[in-house]
A and B are shown apart, each in its own frame.
Chain A
Amino acid sequence: MHAMAFPGHLPIGRLLLRPWAKPLVFALALLPCVTLLWAVGFDQLGANPAEALIRATGDWTLRMLCLVLAVTPLRVIFAVPTLARFRRMLGLFVYFYACLHLLSYAWFDMGFEMTDVLRDIAKRPFILVGFVGFVLLSVMALTSHNLVIKRVGGKIWKRLHQSVYVVAGLALLHFFWMRAGKNNFAEVIVYAVVLAALLAWRVVHFARKKAL
C-alpha cells in the first residue's frame, strides 16, 4: 500500500509477500556458509584454512548484523512495511554466523580444549568482549519465538531485544581490538560508519516521533 504511494515505484513491498520471497532470502543468507563449506571441501582457503575460516565467519556475523539493523530504517524510509517479515530470520542468521565463528575458534584454534577456551575468555579482553556478545545473541535467539513474545509481553521483550545495539558495539570493539595490533582499521571504520549511521537514524527518527 505504502509502496504504491510512490507512482512508478517498484512494488517491492508486494513482491516480498510472494510465497518464494522468504525461501529466497533464506537461501541468499545461507550462501556465504555454503561457499565456505565448498572452499573447505576443495581446499580453496589458502595456506592457513583455519585462520581463513575464523575470519570469514566473523566477517559474515558483522555483515548480517549490519543487514538486520538496516531493516527498520529501510522499511520506514522506502515505506516497505513487508520488510519487517524478514527481520527475525535475518536476526537468527546473525546468530547462525556467530555460532559458526565461535565453533571455528573453539575447534580450529583451541582444538576443543574447553579449559583452554575458558582460560582464554578470562585472560583476554578481546575474546571476552566477543563472548559476551555471543551470550547476548543467544538470549535473543532463544526468546525469538512468538510464544515467548506472548508469554513475557511486548514491552519487556522489546527491551530485551534492544540489546542488539549492545551486541553491535561489542562486535565492533572485538573487531577493532583484533585489528589494533596491525594498526589496520580500514575495515573496522567501514563497519563503524555503517553501524553509526543506522543508530543515528534511529535516534533522529524516534526523537521526531516523540516530538509529534
Chain B
Amino acid sequence: MQISTRRDGFNHPESSSITPLAIYQSRRDLIRLMATGVAGAALGSLVARQAFAQSVALPGKNVALPGSRTRVAGGVTMDKVTDYKDASSYNNFYEFGTDKADPAKNAHTLKISPWAVEIEGMVKKPARYTLEDLIKLSAQEERIYRLRCVEGWSMVLPWVGYSLSELIKKVEPLGSAKYVEFVTLADPRTMPGVGSRVLDWPYVEALRMDEAMHPLTLLSFGMYGEVLPKQSGAPVRLVVPWKYGFKSGKSLVKIRFTEKQPTTAWNRVAPSEYGFFANVNPDVDHPRWSQATERRIGEDGLFAKKRKTLIFNGYEPQVGQLYAGMDLKKFF
C-alpha cells in the first residue's frame, strides 16, 4: 500500500497516464470510432505520431535526436522548461574555463568524433563501445528533469537518452562491484581549463551501484530533441536529477565498476564542502551558503523571491528509499 504524507510533496503523474489533449478533445469521436470497430487502427497511428512528439521546439543548433515519451516514474516534470538559450550559455564545465560563459565560448574545440566509451573493472563483459553502438544500445527517451546546481540555481531540462541501467545490465557487473565510476575526457590540447589547478584531471564522478541502477539515472546523448551541445557534455554524459549537478559527469570516456568507493573530483579538493553523495538537501547547507532555496534560471526574475529547494530535488518519492535509515547530515 502506498502511504502519502505531506513530506512526499506533490506526486507528479506519470506522463504515460496523462491523456493527450487531442484524444481528450475528440473523445466523443473516439467513442463513435470504437463503436464502429475501426478504433484500433486510428489509435495506432495517433500513438505513433505521439511517440516522437517533442515537448519543446527544436533549437535547430545540432543534429536532431528524437526521444519517445518515457514511462519511468518521475521522468517528466511538469515544471516549465528552461529556455535553450540559458541552458546552452550558462554552464559549469571547468575543462573549458571556470566562468559560466566560458564553456559556450570555448567548447567548440571538443572533438566528439570518433568517440568511444570504455567499460572496465568488475564486470563479466568489459567492452569498448563506439558512440554509434552506445546510442543504439537502447531506445532513446525524452526525460524532463529538474537540475539543481550546488551553487544555488536550477533549470528544467529536456534530456534525451536512456536509463544507465540498460547499459549496466548488458555488461553484467560482478557481485563484488559496489560502485560505478565515471571518468570524463581530459584533453589538454582541446580543453584549455585542463591546464588549471582548480581540480585534479580527469574529472571523476561516481555512484553507488543502486543509485546507478535507478531508472531515473540517465545516460544522455541529447537535449531539446537534438544531440548534446558541446558545452553541455557532448557526446555522452550522465544525468542524476536528485543530486547536485556536479555529480553528472560530462563527455564520458570510461565507466568503471569498483568494489571500493572511488575518490571523486570535488570531494578530493574540498571534502567538507562536497560530499560523495551530494544529494540535493535543503537542510544541509554548503559551508559558504544556504541550500534552503534556489533561483530558477530564466523564470525567477531578479526581484522574485527564490524558491524553496526540495529534498532530493523533488524526487523523494522515487529515490528516497535508496537512503532509508541513512544519516543524510553525515553522508551529505
Contact = CB atoms under 8 A, between A and B. Distances in A.
Contact of A48 (B94, B295, B305): B295
Contacts of A50: 295, 302
Contacts, number: 50
Given A181-B270, A182-B198, A46 B306 contact: no
Interface residues of A, number: 23
B138 interface: no
A47 B298 contact: yes
A109 B86 CA distance: 20
Interface in B184-223: 196-199
Given A181-B273, A183-B198, A124 B287 contact: yes
Contacts of B289: 124
A185 to B, nearest CB: 9
Contacts of B301: 49
A182 B302 contact: no
B197 A183 contact: yes
Contact of B86 (A47, A51, A108, A177): A47
B86 A40 contact: no
Contacts of A48: 90, 100, 153, 295, 297
A69 interface: no
Contacts of A177: 288
Interface string B299-332: 0011101100000000000000000000000000
Interface in B129-154: 153
A46 B198 contact: no
A172 interface: no
Given A182-B198, A183-B197, A51 B153 contact: yes
Interface string B161-195: 00000000000000000000000000000000000
B101 A46 contact: yes
B98 interface: yes
Interface string A98-138: 00000000011101000010001001101000000000000
A44 interface: no
A184 B198 contact: yes
B269 interface: yes
A48 B151 CA distance: 12
A181 B94 CA distance: 13
Classify the secondary structure of B's interface with A.
loop
A42 B298 CA distance: 14
Contact of A46 (B90, B269, B273): B90
Nearest to A184: B98
B302 A40 contact: yes
B89 interface: yes
A46 B153 CA distance: 13
Contacts of A184: 98, 196, 198
A128 B199 CA distance: 27
Contacts of B197: 183
Residue from A40, A123, A182 whose CB has the most chain B CB atoms within 10 Å? A182
Contacts of B270: 181
Contacts of A168: none
Contacts of B295: 48, 50
B290 interface: yes
Contacts of A116: 290
Interface in B277-297: 285, 287-290, 295, 297
Contacts of A107: 303
Interface string B234-276: 0000000000000000000000000000000000011001000
Interface of B: 86, 89-90, 94, 98, 100-101, 153, 196-199, 269-270, 273, 285, 287-290, 295, 297-298, 301-303, 305-306
29 contacts: A46-B90, A47-B90, A47-B100, A47-B297, A48-B153, A48-B295, A48-B297, A49-B301, A50-B295, A50-B302, A51-B153, A53-B302, A107-B303, A108-B303, A109-B306, A111-B305, A116-B290, A120-B290, A124-B287, A124-B288, A124-B289, A126-B288, A177-B288, A182-B98, A182-B198, A183-B199, A183-B269, A184-B196, A184-B198
